[in-house]
Amino acid sequence: MLARIGAILHSSERSGRGSCRMRGLCVLAAGAILAVSGCARLDEPSRSKPGDRSGTSAPSATTRSASASGQGGASPSGGAVASEASNSPVAGGSPVGGGRGRVEGTAMDRQMAMFGAGCFWGVEAIFRKQDGVIDTAVGYAGGHTADPTYKDICTDQTGHAEVVRVEFDASVVSYETLVDLFFRLHDPTQLNRQGPDIGSQYRSVIFYYTEGQREIAQTVKARRESSGKHRRKIVTVIETAPTFYLAEDYHQQYFAKRGLENTCHVPSED
């Protein structure tokens, strides 16, 4: 059985598509092999119709009340949230990231950020470890069709990117720190792909909610470009936050729910 798993992994690497998914799903379960590559999900719950969100748990209290801007009121950039996050809030509303959190007795400065950096499983796993992050949700954004499903975006015809929406406490972690982490956790010089994951849904993109976020994102991008750390041009696109469509519950906190190691993204030290 172990030999078969090795063969599957080797095959996925040679195929050039979806091996990030493959490595995350090649596990032993009840004496059987679960092997899934790219957009072909053997264990993904079936969907009765494109607009059906059945199987998605109810939104948490913290995310249900959050506006698209993440700062209360209407979004300055016109961004909207079509579906709210399904992951449960942390008790007491404290940040999910390990290490330093909010100083007791101080009020949270809740804000939102949205990033696309390839397979959203690994991107979410990394952001959830960041101090000051309150909650996360994975979804789809930046396309031209309403209420897309995972199968829809895998056709590479809807224009959506796999994204992670990050709710954070700005009194603990700055937006600039999150943008810097975004650049370190993927290769921003790859166009419409990340490693073996190929398609516009894996593009490198920062969706900003405010003009302040736009300026910070552009500054950090320029700093990375002039640092000499990348041999090729950075292709990350910086755009105003569009409607966020919540991904199926199956994808939320994918690695954590299954006790798997994040095999998609590993942040660089620079």
Classify the C-alpha dihedral 190-79-55-157 as positive or negative. Answer: negative
User: Considering the entire predicted model, what is its pTM?
Assistant: 0.70
Same domain, 14 and 63: no
Q: Give the domain extent around 154.
A: 58-96+106-258
Same domain, 111 and 219: yes
Calpha distance 38→11 (Å, rounded): 12
The single-letter code of the amino acid at 154 is C
The pLDDT value given to residue 105: 63
Evaluate whether residue 92 is within a structural domain. yes
The pLDDT value given to residue 21: 54
What is the percent of the chain with per-residue pLDDT over 70, rounded to a whole number? 59
Calpha distance 75→190 (Å, rounded): 30
Same domain, 191 and 243: yes
DSSP at 148? -
For the chain, counts of helices (H) and of strands (E): 8, 10
Same domain, 81 and 208: yes
Evaluate whether residue 110 is within a structural domain. yes
Same domain, 92 and 12: no
Residue 256 has pLDDT above 80, yes or no: yes
Evaluate whether residue 101 is within a structural domain. no
The pLDDT value given to residue 86: 36
Contact between 251 and 88 under an 8 Å Cβ cutoff? The reply is no
Q: What are the tens digits of pLDDT across the range 172-225?
A: 999 999 999 999 999 999 999 998 999 999 999 999 999 999 999 999 999 999
Strand partners, 161: 141
Using alpha carbons, select from 126, 122, 133, 124 the residue that is nearest to residue 97: 133
Calpha distance 135→62 (Å, rounded): 9
Same domain, 72 and 19: no
Same domain, 165 and 35: no
The H-or-E segment that residue 139 falls in is strand 133-141
Q: What are the tens digits of pLDDT across the range 110-141?
A: 999 999 999 999 999 999 999 999 999 999 99
Range scoring the smallest mean pLDDT among 44-58, 86-100, 123-137? 44-58
Strand partners, 116: 205
Calpha distance 210→113 (Å, rounded): 10
Same domain, 81 and 202: yes
Confidence of residue 31 (pLDDT cuts 50, 70, 90): very low
- Please name the residue that has the structure tokens 């119709």: 49
Q: What CATH number does the domain containing 83 carry? A: 3.30.1060.10
Same domain, 111 and 38: no
- Residue predicted with more confidence, 40 or 224: 224
The pLDDT value given to residue 263: 74
Q: How many structural domains are present in the chain?
A: 2
The single-letter code of the amino acid at 200 is S
Mean pLDDT of 261-269: 75
| Catalytic residue IDs | 119
Evaluate whether residue 52 is within a structural domain. no
